[in-house]
């Protein structure tokens, strides 16, 4: 969660933002466009998304217009940050033209039997990492080549022969 302070007339107001699956879902349902694409977003689209990210105060979406340029940059940095220490092993990436939408992420969560709450309110990078980890962990072990299996047996046999001082 990112907290930024703005001044509404004479009073200080704390704005709380979440770049989450829930925010993506709100934005996509209003705009009917996928958010997680490489396509550049217009200023209006970004402002609308910042409004959807606003968690508190919920009823004052107009306060987003009071953010100064440094705060807007801080908001962009927050969105681009990774909020996870996890990694998954690199896999051969195949071209996948599928457009990622909030509904697709919800599908992944349900297919992987991950509860929506609280994951839909996490930073989106953390939610996506959980999907990657769950997918990786559910893959069947890769079959080893027979030549690799034979090499392993030969290595283990040689170690045992040496350890026990036998000739086989």
Contact yes or no for 85/125 (Cβ under 8 A): no
Mean pLDDT of 75-79: 93
Residue in 87, 124, 86, 88 with CA at minimum distance from that of residue 104: 124
Residue 56, classed as helix, strand or coil, is strand
The string of pLDDT tens digits covering residues 78-135 is 999 888 887 777 766 665 677 888 888 898 999 999 888 888 888 898 898 899 888 8
Encoded tokens for 156: 């283990």
Q: Provide the pLDDT for residue 26.
A: 93
pLDDT confidence band for 23 (50 / 70 / 90) = very high
Round the average pLDDT of the chain to a whole number and report it: 88
* Residue 95 CB partners (closer than 8 Å, separation 6+): none
Rounded to two decimals, the pTM is 0.69
- Region 20-43: mean pLDDT is 91
- Based on the structure, what is the number of domains in the chain? 1
Short-list 67, 50, 60, 123, CA closest to 42: 50
Q: Which domain holds residue 128?
A: 1-168
pLDDT for 91: 66
- 8 Å CB contact between 24 and 123: no
Q: Where are the alpha helices (DSSP H) in 2-140?
A: 21-31, 43-53, 69-80, 102-111, 116-119, 124-137
């Amino acid at each position: 969660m990112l907290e930024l302070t703005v001044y509404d007339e004479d009073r200080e107001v704390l704005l709380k933002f979440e770049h989450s699956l829930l925010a993506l879902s709100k934005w996509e349902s209003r705009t009917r466009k996928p958010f997680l694409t490489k396509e550049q977003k217009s200023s209006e689209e970004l402002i609308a998304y910042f409004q959807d990210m606003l968690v508190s105060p919920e009823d004052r979406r107009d306060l987003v217009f009071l953010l100064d340029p440094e705060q807007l940059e801080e908001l962009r940095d927050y969105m681009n940050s990774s909020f996870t220490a996890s990694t998954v092993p690199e896999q051969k990436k195949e071209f996948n033209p599928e457009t990622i939408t909030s509904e697709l992420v919800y599908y992944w969560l349900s297919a992987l039997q991950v509860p929506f709450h609280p994951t839909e309110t996490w930073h989106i990078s953390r939610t996506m990492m959980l999907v990657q980890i769950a997918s990786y962990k559910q893959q069947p072990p890769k079959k080893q080549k027979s030549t690799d299996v034979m090499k392993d047996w030969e290595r283990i046999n040689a170690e045992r022969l040496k350890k026990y001082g036998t000739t086989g």
